[in-house]
Amino acid sequence: MDSTDEVIIERRGSAGIIRLNRPKALNSLTLPMVRTITSALEEFAIDPAIAAVIVKGEGERGFCAGGDIRLLHQSGKEGSDGAKTFWREEFRLNHAISRYPKPYVVLMDGITMGGGVGLSAHGSHRIVTERTRLAMPETGIGYFPDVGATWLLPRAPGEAGTWLGLTGLAVDAPDALHAGFADHCVASSALPVLIDAIAALPASASAADVHALIKTMATDAGESAIVAASCMRISDPAGGAVIRVARRPFNCVSRPSSAASSTGLVTKALAPFSFARARSCGVSCPVHMTTGIADVCGLPVMMPVTS
């Protein structure tokens, strides 16, 4: 197990530290990086002097932005097996992380997307910060949420996983915690202290010991916007009826009939409620006519698109 320019491997006390080192590319993954990480994890797993593994990204902008799309695209253009080999080995690494025998502490500080989620969300001790921006943006390029996300997303509360998977939009620390993609929130400024504290644990430290240590440094991430924006009540000034305006995925029913209109109403109607009346309440919202993604009070909503 050797460090490379793109992945730095370090032993500090009882901690095995893996540092992704492509900050200019947001630490996006390449095949050599996947292989170096896999090798390091295998060696740390059987090393009796290592109690826990810590994985982090170098630079100030993010943990890992995913696979290197440029290299994968080039492989497709050339008709080579590079992309297939990358995904095959990356997915095996994701599975190995989910079964890792020692505490796997991952610092999801900053951008954590796609392959970065694969390196983090399957771990045993997943830490977000006030700078975390987590997403599975694959649908934006005509792909699907990979790296085991189709196992994680359906287990998110309510339809949070559906929304994350279909929109590909980024969420912050409170939403990542709510969706089950993280376990603790720690201030980014406290991460160096946390790393040293984990490294100072005895080699016999257990997962429970690591959890207890992280908990002493954890902070309140605040309220999840997904939870807060689940729905709101709007009164119809014309008829006194009350509707619930959905602000979460698939809790919706209507849109204006005019094909020329670029606005739509996303509602779960408890009483007949006209689009004109809804507009007077100020709850009309822009709708992308192809994808049906609307934005109600700042939270994207999926709605059915009819001809």
- Tens digits of per-residue pLDDT, 190-217? 999 999 999 999 999 999 999 999 999 9
115 is catalytic: yes
Which range has the worst mean pLDDT, 25-29, 56-60, 68-72?
A: 68-72
Each residue of 173-199: b (16+ CB within 10 Å) or e? bbbbbbbbbbbbbbebeebeebbebbb
The pLDDT assigned to 163 comes to 87
Q: For residue 101, give both structure tokens.
A: 């025998």
The strand pair at 299-302 and 184-185 is best described as unpaired
The pLDDT assigned to 64 comes to 96
Minimal CA–CA distance to 134: which of 189, 70, 66?
Answer: 66
The pLDDT assigned to 233 comes to 42
CATH number of 7-225: 3.90.226.10
- Over residues 103-116, the pLDDT tens digits come to 999 999 999 999 99
Sign of torsion, CA 2 146 185 180? negative
- Over residues 222-272, the pLDDT tens digits come to 989 888 766 544 444 454 444 344 443 333 222 223 222 222 323 322 223
114 is catalytic: no
Which range has the worst mean pLDDT, 40-49, 123-132, 221-230?
A: 221-230
The pLDDT assigned to 249 comes to 37
Task: Please tell me what DSSP assigns to residue 237.
Answer: T
- Would the pLDDT of 136 be above 50? yes
- Between residues 177 and 293, the one the model is more confident about: 177
Minimal CA–CA distance to 64: which of 94, 107, 35?
Answer: 107
148 is catalytic: no
The pLDDT assigned to 78 comes to 81
The pLDDT assigned to 303 comes to 33
Options 67, 110, 123, 264, the catalytic residue: 67
- Would the pLDDT of 290 be above 80? no
The strand pair at 104-108 and 125-128 is best described as parallel
The pLDDT assigned to 144 comes to 79
Options 138, 159, 172, 175, the catalytic residue: 138
Q: How far is CA 104 from the centre of its chain?
A: 17
The structure's pTM equals 0.75
Q: Residue 56: which pLDDT band, with cuts at 50, 70 and 90?
A: very high
Give the whole-angstrom CA distance, residue 134 versus residue 170.
Answer: 5
Q: Where are the domains of the chain?
A: 7-225, 229-302
Options 115, 116, 123, 168, the catalytic residue: 115
Q: Residue 123: which pLDDT band, with cuts at 50, 70 and 90?
A: very high
- Over residues 60-96, the pLDDT tens digits come to 999 999 887 777 778 777 887 778 898 899 999 999 9
Count how many Cα atoms sit within 13 Å of the Cα of residue 115 in the half-sphere of its side chain: 26
Task: Please tell me what DSSP assigns to residue 139.
Answer: G
Contact partners, residue 169, CB within 8 Å, separation at least 6? 135, 137, 163, 300
- Would the pLDDT of 280 be above 50? no
146 is catalytic: yes
Options 146, 172, 175, 183, the catalytic residue: 146
Helix intervals (H) in 181-256: 191-199, 207-217, 225-228
**Degrees, nearest 5: CA angle 290-162-85:** 90
Classify burial at 80, counting beta carbons within 10 Å of its beta carbon; exposed 0-12, middle 13-18, buried 19 or more. Answer: exposed
